[in-house]
Amino acid sequence: MKPACSASLVSNPFGTTITADDIRETLGFFDAWEDRYKYIIDLGKELPPMDDDKKTDERLVRGCQSQVWIDTRCEGGRYWFDVDSDAFIVKGLLGVVLAAYNGKQAEDITSFDIDAYFEDLDLIRHLSTARGNGLKAMVDRIKAEVA
């Protein structure tokens, strides 16, 4: 079910002060994937904490190796996502995704070429198959929420 849109202030750096272009640029500075992984994990530390009462089966993303929760709200015609995971690298991957989607309108989310974004980051080939499938499940869940 698509969340109702209301107007209120949102404080989350992803999609606002940390954008997809910022992540592309920063990851481009690193030559070694070990440094890129550290950066991605650090992105996860920038995620605002999700309230434990939001960590419900309804918000749990199926298809992820780790536990991932996504809560969607629409405020002022823009979609915001509260997310969490029990794995540090997955929280970082959520940050990468939110940089592209958070604070955007539905049409911007559905039209954003997430595959090209991941390709630019050279991300998929450096993830295990299970992590790659989980990343796809996160993206699919967000797109379904705004469709």
> How open is the CA angle 131-12-92, to the nearest 5 degrees?
20
Contact, 68 vs 136, CB < 8 A? no
User: One-letter amino acid identity for 107?
Assistant: E
User: Where in the sequence numbering do the catalytic residues fall?
Assistant: 64
**Residue 80, phi then psi, degrees to nearest 5:** -125, 145
User: One-letter amino acid identity for 117?
Assistant: Y
